[in-house]
Structure 1
Amino acid sequence: MSRRWTITVALAGYLFASIGVILLFSCNSNELNSSKKGMEENMYDEQHRPQFHFTPEKKWMNDPNGMVYYDDEYHLFYQYYPEGIVWGPMHWGHAVSKDLIRWEHLPIALYPDSLGYYFSGSAVIDYNNTSGFGDGEIPPMVAIFTFGWEDEKGIAQRQGIAFSLDKGRTWTKYEGNPVLDINLNAFRDPKVFWHRPSQKWIMSIVASNDNETIIPDHVKFFVSENLIDWEQTGEFGYTYGTQGGKWECPDLIEIPIEGTNEKKWVLIVSINPMGPNGGSGIQYFIGDFDGKTFEIDEQFKTGGGLSKTLWMDYGRDNYAGVTWSNTPDNTFVLIGWMSNWDYAQQVPTERWRSSMTIPRKLILENTVKGLRLNSKPIDQLKELRKRKKEIPAIEFYEKRAIADSLVNSTAEVILQFNKKGAGEDSKFGILLKNNKGEQVNIYFETSVNKYFIDRSRSGKVDFSPKFASIDAAPRIDDSDTLKFHLYIDKSSVELFADDGSVVMTETFFPNEDFSTIQIYGTNGGELVKGEIFELNSIW
C-alpha cells in the first residue's frame, strides 16, 4: 500500500505556526505599494495579476523585443496592442529597469505605419557609429524589426530599422526602410549582434513557407557593416530539430562551457505549435559559428540530416524567449513570454493579457547526457526575499506538519529530497491549494524518472479545451538528490529542478488565490532540507 506523508504550509495571512508555536507579524503596505506611481490604486491587486513578473499596465502583450542594456538601464520592448486584450496591429511597448526586477513603464516606442505592423526584433548599441545615425557624442540605439503587412498572398514580411539618441525615449524611423526584403511571406524576428572577429553585424532571422512553394522552417544568417546593407551568408534548419510548427524568434549566442576554457555557440529558436507538451515552446541547438553560418555539433546529429531536439523549458508557458544584448558582465539573461498560443487570447484576465517569465541566466554545462543549456533564476531575485522559514529534515514514514504564512500567495521555495530507498512508484512534490478544492501539483515520479506539473484542477480551465493539462519533463541528473527551486506567483509557477537542468513554466487561474502549500512524499525517501521565502511585490 502506498503511504503518503505531507508537510502543509499555509500561504494566506501572517501566521507562522511550527510545532505548537505561533508568531504574528504585520506588513508595511507602503513598502509593498511604493512603486505604483501614476497607476490606478488597485491595478496590481486585481485577480490573477502577477506580483513579481512584468505585465503591461493594460491591454495585450506578447513577445519580448529589443532587449538591450545601455547606460545603467535594461530595456524591455515588447509586442503590444494598446486597443484590446487580443492580438492586433503590433506596436513596440517599452519599459526600463535598473535591476531586471522592478520596471518603469514608458510610452509606446514604435507605432504601425504605412509599411506595416511592427513585429518582433532586436536592438543594439552602435558604439562605432557604423550606421551613421550617431551625432558624434552619443552612440545610437538601433532597433531592427519586421514589418508585417497584408498583400494579395496574406501577410508579407520584410525588415526595417529605427534609431534613438535619447536612450530609447524617442525614435527616428530610417527613411530608406525596408532595409531587407527577400520576397517571403514568412521572414521575421531579426536578432542582431556585433561579431568582433569579423567586425560585422550578424543577423539571425527565421524563414519558411512563402504560400507558393513549401519551404521548411529554418534560420537565415546575414552580415552587414552598417546595419543598413545586408548580405546572406548561410542557413540552418530545414530538417534539424522539431519541425511541423512555425519557427520564430531566433537568438545566436556564444557562451562558455561551465568549468572549462571552451566556448560553444547556441542557437535558440521558438516553435509554435509542436512544443514539448503542446502548442508553443523553445528549442535550442549547440554547435559552432564561423561568422557566416551555424553548424550543429556532431553529438546532436542522429543521421539523415536530423538531430535531437533539446528543449529550454518543458512547461506550456515560456515562448519567444531571447537574451539581452550589451550586458555589463557579458552574461546571457533570457526572458520569455509567459503564455502559449494555444490559449493566450482566451485566458481569464480582463484589464490586461500576458506576463513575462522571470529573467533567467543561461549556463552551458556538461551533464551525464552531454552538453545542455541550463537556466537559473538571476541573483537579483533574492532582493525580493522577506521572511524565511526553514523546514527541517523529514522522513516520509512519520507524519509531520509545519505551517507558515506568506503575503499575496507568492513564494520562493527551495527543497531537497533524497529518493534513495524510495519505492519504484514514489512521488515527491508540492501541492498548491485553496479553500475551493482547486490545486496545482508539481512533482517528481520515480517510476518514469520525470518531473510533472498538473494544472488540470487549477480552477478556471474551461476557457480553452487545450489549457487543462498534466505536463512532463524528463530528468537529466542521475543522482538520488532531487532539487526543487520554485517561484510561485498569483497565477504562475516556475520550476528550476536539479540546478536548472530541467525547467518548467506554467500559468494557472484559480477562482480563489492559492493559500496552502503541501509538501509531500510517498513510499520512502526523505525531505533533506527546505526553505520558503515570502516575497515582496515589485509594484
Structure 2
Amino acid sequence: MNSVTTTVETYRPAMHFAAEDTWLNDPNGLVFHEGTYHLYYQNNPFGNVHANMSWGHATSTDLVSWTEQPVAIPCDDVEEIYSGSIVLDAENTSGFGADGKAPLVAIYTSAYKPGSLHEGTQAQSLAWSTDGGYSWTKYAGNPVLTRNSPEFRDPKVFRYDGPSGSYWVMVAVEAHDFTVLLYRSQDLKSWVYLSTFGPANGTGGIWECPDLFELPLDGDSSAIKWVLTVNMNPGGPNGGSAGQYFVGEFDGVTFSSETTLTEGMQDPERVPDYQWLDWGRDYYAAVSFSNVPDGRRLMIGWMNNWQYANHIPTSPWRSPMSLVRDMSLVSVNRHPRLLQHPAPEVRATSTPGPEQRLALNGPATVEGGTAVQLIDVTFSPGDAEEFGLVVRGSADGTVGTRIGIQPGSGDLIVDRTHSGDTDFHEAFASTSRAPISAAKEGNYTLQIFVDHCSVEVFANDGLVSVTELIFPDPAQTSLTLYSTGGTADAVLQLTNFEKDDA
C-alpha cells in the first residue's frame, strides 16, 4: 500500500509532543525549573516548513502532557534564532538576575541575516528570563562569542566544578569541520577557548547539536565517565540524519574519548561499529535537560529526518518530538555503552493488560492491537530464520510496519516499506537494521511504543533503539506476530493508552 486518504489530524501523536499548527525541529533550551520541564525548540511561527527559525516553547510537569506556550525568542530582521541551551544561573554570575531572583540564561546561535552587522556568520548570543522562562530579553552585547564563521553553532552550556576550577563550559560545533569546540567563562558573557575534539568516527555529514555530560558507570558514583554526543546529517547508519556518542574523560579543558574507532574522516566499513544514539531514520538533534532533580539525565530528540523533513504528510503541524529518555551508562564486554529507557512517567499513565503466550509457526493475529499502545514482547527462538511483529497493519499482516529479529545475522529490522503513505518522498520507504544479540538466557526482549505516526523500538534492555516515522491508514490497527522458516515462542503484554482517542 503506497498511499492513504487522510484527514487534517490523522497523524497527530497522542504520546509525543507536536506543535499545534506550525513546524518544529531541534529541541533547544531543555531545563527543569521550579517543578516544570521546559522544552524549547526550533520553530517556524508562520508556517509548517523550515523557515523563520525562532524558539518555540512547551511545558510539562510529568514529561507526558505538554502545553504549548507562546513563542519564546522570535526571529527578527537581524537574526534567526538557531539551536542552543538554557542554564539556571543560580549565583547570578551573569548579573541578569533581579530582586534576588536567579535568572535563566539562554545561550543560542544567532544566524545573521543579509544586511545585518554580522551578515553571513553564525555566532553565540544570550537572552535571559526572570519570570521562569516565559519571557526573554536579548543581551545588548550580543554576540558574546564569534569566530566569524558561517557554520559555528549549537552551544550546549553547563556548570563545571572539578579539579580545574568552577566555571561555565560551552560545547559548540564547527559543522563542516566535524569538530566540537570547548570554551569556558565565569559570567556567560566572556569566553575563552579550551580545546577541540574531532574529526572522529562518523563524519559522513555535518556535525550539529553536541552535548557533554557525566554519568556513573554501572551505577557506581565513584566511576564517573563523560559522554559526548554529536548529531550528524547525513551519514547515519541507515541513511540521512543520526546521532553518535563517545565515552571518555573531561578534565575541565579537554575531552578524551576511549571509544573512538576512527580518527579523522570515517571509514565506511566501520560505520556499523560506531556508537549510535539510535539506529532508526527519525531521531536527530537529541540533547539533554539541565537541572533535573536526583541526577537524572533525560534526553529528547527531533523525530524526523532532513532527507524528507519538509514533506511528511501532516497538516497543519509538521514534525513531532521523541519520547523523553532516561540515560545511563553500563559496561558491555568491558566497554562503556549508553542505555536508553523511555521515562517511566510514560508507562505510569496506563495499566498493562494480561500476559499472552504464543507458539509461532507462521503469522498469528493478536487481539488488542490499537493505534496507540506499548507492546512488551519477549521472543524465545526455536529454529525460525526470522520472528517478530507487524504493527499498525492489516488483518493478514501483509500491510503494516514489520519489526523483526534475524538471529542468524544478528539483525533487528524495522521495515516501513508497506507501512501506509510512503510516496511523499523517494527516500522515505526504507528498511532499517540494527545489531541485536540474545540475552544470556537466549531470549530477545523488545519494548515498542506505537503512536499515530511513529514507532520507537527499545531492544536489549535499552542498548539498542530504532525510531521511525510511519503514516498508516487510520483503519490499520491490527497486530500480528510471526515466524518464518521455523518456530518461535513469544510472551506478549499490551498497554493501551487512554489518550488514543484524544
Shorter-chain TM-score above 0.5 = yes
More moved, 135-144 vs 228-237 = 135-144
Per-residue deviation at 1:513? 4.1
AA matched with 1:160: S
Change (3 A) 1:519 1:397: closer
Q: Which has the higher contact order (CA 8 A, sep 6+)?
A: 1
1:128 maps to amino acid: E
1:386-405 per-position Cα deviation (integer Å, ceiling 9, x unaligned): 4x332432333598664225
Deviation at 1:505, TM superposition (A): 0.2
Cα contact 1:438–1:510 (8 A) shared by 2: no
Contact 1:368 1:476 in 2 (8 A): no
Aligned to 1:465: 426
Q: Is the Cα contact below 8 Å between 1:189 and 1:250 reproduced in 2?
A: yes
> Deviation at 1:305?
8.6
Alignment of 1:341-352 (within 5 A): 341-352=306-317
Matched, 1:534 2:499: no
1:470-528 Cα shifts (integer Å, max 9, x gaps): 11001155541100100000110000011111100000112334210101223455434
Query: 1:204 and 2:171 equivalent?
Result: yes
Q: List aligned pairs for 1:335-346, cutoff 5 A.
A: 335-346=300-311
Query: Which range is displaced more, 426-435 or 121-130?
Result: 426-435
What are the superposed Cα offsets for residues 165-189 of structure 1, whole Å, 9 maximum, x if unpaired? 0001111110101101111111000
Residues 166, 490 of structure 1: CA spacing in aligned structure 2 closer, same or farther, 3 A cutoff?
A: same
Shift of 1:58: 0.8
1:272 to 230, 233, 241: 233
Residue in structure 2 matching 1:88, options 51, 70, 82: 51
What's the CA shift for 1:429? 3.1
2:28 is equivalent to residue 61 of structure 1: no
Distance across 2 between alignment mates of 1:249 and 1:156: 17
1:451 and 2:443 aligned: no
State whether residues 360 and 481 of structure 2, in contact with CA within 8 Å, keep that contact through their aligned partners in structure 1.
no
- Flag the 1:506–1:398 CA change in 2: closer, same or farther, 3 A: closer
Choose from 497, 515, 534 the match for 2:477: 515
Partner amino acid, structure 1, of 2:122: Q
Name the aligned partner's letter for residue 32 of structure 2: Y
The secondary structure found in structure 2 opposite 1:345 is helix
Note closer, same or farther for the CA distance 1:526–1:154 as it changes in structure 2 (3 Å cut): farther
Q: State whether structure 2 residue 448 is matched by structure 1 residue 494.
A: no
- Partners of 2:242 and 2:62 in 1: how far apart? 27
| Structure 2 equivalent of residue 25 of structure 1 | none
Within a 5 Å distance, the mapping from 1:235-274 to structure 2 comes to 235-238=196-199, 240-260=200-220, 261-274=222-235
C-alpha contact (below 8 Å) 2:25/2:302 kept by paired residues: yes
1-side partners of 2:120 and 2:454: how far apart? Answer: 33
Residue 350 of structure 1: SS of its match in structure 2?
coil
2:201/2:260 contact within 8 Å kept:
no
Contact 2:9 2:314 in 1 (8 A): no
| Amino acid in the other structure paired with 1:510 | P
2:121 pairs with one of 156, 159, 181: 156
Shift of 1:457: 1.1
Instruction: Please give the secondary structure, in 1, of the residue aligned with 2:121.
Output: strand
From the superposition, tell whether residues 432 and 399 of structure 1 become closer, same or farther in structure 2 (CA, over 3 Å).
Answer: closer
Q: Return the alpha-carbon distance in structure 2 between the equivalents of residues 221 and 289 of structure 1.
A: 11
1:73 positional shift: 0.5
> How far apart in 1 are the matches of 2:250 and 2:437?
27
Task: State the match for 2:4 in structure 1.
Answer: none
What are the Cα deviations for residues 361-391 of structure 1, in whole angstroms up to 9, with x where unaligned?
11111113722111111110112214x3324
Deviation at 1:529, TM superposition (A): 1.9
Structure 1 position 315, deviation (Å): 0.3
Amino acid at match of 2:357: A
TM-score for both structures, normalised by structure 2? 0.91
Kept after mapping to 2: 8 A contact 1:393/1:526: no
Q: 1:175 to 1:343 in 2, by over 3 A?
A: same
Q: Is the contact between residue 202 and residue 265 of structure 2 (CA under 8 Å) also seen in structure 1?
A: no
Q: 1:291 aligns with which of 239, 245, 252?
A: 252
CA distance in 2, matches of 1:274, 1:147: 26
Cα distance 1:508–1:173, how it changes in 2: closer, same or farther (>3 A)? Answer: same
Say if 1:257 and 1:365, in contact at 8 Å, map to a contact too. yes
Which of 301, 311, 318 matches 2:283?
318
Q: Which amino acid aligns with 2:404?
A: Y
2:378 to 389, 396, 416: 416
Paired position in structure 2 for 1:33: none
Residues 369 and 392, structure 2, Cα contact 8 Å, conserved in 1 = no
- Matched with 1:333 is 298
Q: Distance in 1 between matches of 2:264 and 2:151?
A: 26
- Tell me the C-alpha RMSD between the 2 structures: 2.2
What's 1:26 paired with?
none
Q: Does 1:218 align with 2:179?
A: yes
Judge conservation of contact 2:153–2:175 (CA < 8 Å) in 1: no
Range moving further from structure 2, 469-478 or 75-84: 469-478
Amino acid at match of 1:206: V
Q: Aligned partners of 2:211 and 2:484: how far apart in 1?
A: 42
Q: Structure 1 residues 83, 383: closer, same or farther in 2, change over 3 A?
A: same
Q: Distance in 1 between matches of 2:133 and 2:483?
A: 51
Shift of 1:428: 3.0
TM-superposition CA deviations, 1:337-381 (whole Å, max 9, x none): 000000000011120100000001111111137221111111101
Q: CA offsets, 1:182-213, max 9 Å, x none? A: 1111100000000122210000001044xxxx
Unpaired runs of 5+ residues, structure 2, are: 1-6
Residue identity matched to 1:77? Y
Aligned-partner SS, 1:137:
coil
Matched, 1:483 2:448: no
Q: 1:150 Cα shift?
A: 3.7
Q: Deviations over 1:19-38 (max 9, x none)?
A: xxxxxxxxxxxxxxxxxxxx
Aligned length: 483
Residue 360 (structure 2) pairs with residue 396 (structure 1):
yes
Q: Indicate the percent of aligned positions where both proteins have the same amino acid.
A: 37
- 1:433 corresponds to which residue? 393
Structure 1 residue 329 displacement after superposition: 1.4
Task: Work out the CA distance in 1 between the residues paired with 2:83 and 2:66.
Answer: 20
Hey, what's the Cα distance between the residues in 2 that align with 1:133 and 1:456? 52
Deviations 1:87-132 (A, max 9, x none): 1111100111101111111111101134410000000000000001
The corresponding residue for 1:3 is none
AA of the residue aligned to 1:357: S
Quote the residue 2:3 is aligned against.
Answer: none
Contact 2:330 2:338 in 1 (8 A): yes
Q: When the two structures are superposed, what TM-score results if normalisation uses the length of structure 1?
A: 0.85
2: CA distance between counterparts of 1:517 and 1:400? 9
Q: Does 1:382 align with 2:340?
A: no
Tell me the distance in 1 between the aligned counterparts of 2:213 and 2:485: 44
Highest CA radius of gyration, 1 or 2?
Answer: 1
2:330 corresponds to: 365
